Chain A
Amino acid sequence: MPVTRRGFALIELLVATLVSAALVVLVGRMLLGAAAMLRDRSERMGLEQSIRVSVGSAQAMLEPLGVDPGSGADLSAAGASSLVARVVRGSGVLCDATADRLSVRAGPQWWYGLRAPVKNRDTLMVASILGTAQWISAPLIGNPLTGLCPDGSQAIVLPTALSVSSLAAIGGGSPVRVFEPVELRLYPSTGSSWVGLRLAATAEAIQPLAGPFSAVAPGLDYRDLQGNPTGAGIDVAMVLLSLEGLSERGGGVGLARRDRVHSDSITVAVSLRGRQ
């Protein structure tokens, strides 16, 4: 009786199964490894971005700060995990001044503002054009209006209240700054630390800016003009911000999940350039 050769022998099936299983394991490991590596890179990029955003924001906030005998220091509170500073929201040049209003030249070459000035939230500072180099602080008691400069060009009119002596020190050509007190704080959240900003005048809650960072990182430190540590806002000439950024999740997916959290640290020294 002839032997029928249809189908596979048991050994052939076993070999085919083993080869297939080996291929599945190899391809699976390769896929999971590649996915893990990609996620790892993505987490690292997120970590670097958090550091970049924090440092950039701190530089933008701190570099223009200054101090003068007329209006004091822009840095009003200097702590290990937070600072409060008058942050510029707009700047321009005066074309006219009276006891109850300041007229600022309008137009793109004259007025730079992140937003329109807001009464009782912002403070005005006007540079003296007399011999004494100082800035004069003035309240913003009404929202801005439109008007004209004495030479007929467009102006932004800022309602204020100036004393006679202040009015005598300013005039056409005086630079004007619009300030708002802002708090930069490193605050704890879910076992790590975040960098956040808070508008002091509106008493709003802290708004997260970037993170997470290590909760044990040094934070903020201050130096005077000689490089000595100081905590008094009027003496601060340089702010050191130290951060240790953490990735939010470990790299990897599925069986290849790696719970290792990456970290990278930076210490940046920001000179208060508005201080001369």
Chain B
Amino acid sequence: MNRRGIALLLTMAVLLTLGVIATTGVTLAIREADLGRTALADAKARAAAEAAVAEGFQGWSRGIAPVVAGDSVAFPVRPLPGAVFGSLTLHSLGGPILALRGLGEAVGPNGVVLSKSHIELLIRLDSAVADSVVYPRAITRGWRRIP
């Protein structure tokens, strides 16, 4: 009896097609999960940077103010819950306007930085009250995201 046929070929073709579809499905699922994780990390980093800048508005000691253009002072920032870190730096631009820069970082489980957000607010320090603390005052058009 002639046992040659196309059953094996058909089976292989069907299995190959199913394999391609399954692989594509898994790839799409992984890609979608990655997009979600990235979006979440971006939001966390941005929130940390904003929180750091907002904390700066609680003021600081009058003696802390860089004067020479390019000098900077780093402020301690309270740790945030989760694998998110924020830091705040005051930069002198060489005049009465200074730059308050907040950096937020969202970190993955293996310590890799998943996302960074860097924002800047231009401020003046001429709103000091009569105590030992100075308070920043934001100037118009002074907000920007630093690439």
Contact = CB atoms under 8 A, between A and B. Distances in A.
A34 B21 contact: yes
Nearest to A131: B126
B141 A38 contact: no
Interface string B82-96: 000000000011111
Contacts of A173: 69, 92-97
B145 A38 contact: no
B21 A31 contact: yes
Nearest to B146: A112
B83 to A, nearest CB: 23
B143 interface: yes
Given A31-B18, A34-B21, A45 B31 contact: yes
Contacts of B140: 66-68, 133-135, 274-276
Contact of A64 (B32, B95, B141): B141
Contacts of A66: 140-143
Nearest to B72: A109
Contacts of B143: 63-64, 66, 273-274
Contacts of A172: 69, 94-95
A274 B142 CA distance: 6
A274 B32 CA distance: 34
Contact of B32 (A45, A125, A151): A45
Nearest to B126: A131
A127 B96 CA distance: 11
A133 B122 CA distance: 11
A133 B94 contact: no
Contact of A68 (B21, B69, B141, B144): B141
Interface range on chain A: under 10, 10 to 19, 20 to 34, or 35 or more?
Answer: 35 or more
Contacts of B139: 127, 133, 276
Given A27-B14, A172-B69, A276-B138, A91 B144 contact: yes
A163 to B, nearest CB: 20
A133 B124 contact: yes
B80 to A, nearest CB: 21
Contacts of B144: 64, 88, 91, 274
Interface string A135-176: 100000000000000010000000000000000000111110
Contacts of A68: 140-141
A66 B143 CA distance: 9
A88 B17 CA distance: 50
Contacts of A273: 143
Contact of A31 (B17, B25, B39): B17
A122 B39 CA distance: 33
Contacts of B97: 127, 129, 173-175
A52 to B, nearest CB: 8
A38 B21 contact: yes
A260 interface: no
Nearest to A65: B141
A207 B27 CA distance: 31
A41 B141 CA distance: 42
A24 B73 CA distance: 73
Interface string B62-106: 000000011000000000000000000000111111010000000
Interface of B: 14, 17-18, 21, 24-25, 28, 31-32, 35, 39, 69-70, 92-97, 99, 122, 124, 126, 138-147
**Pairs A-B, 9 closest by C-beta atoms:** A173-B95, A66-B141, A173-B94, A273-B143, A274-B141, A34-B21, A66-B140, A68-B140, A173-B93
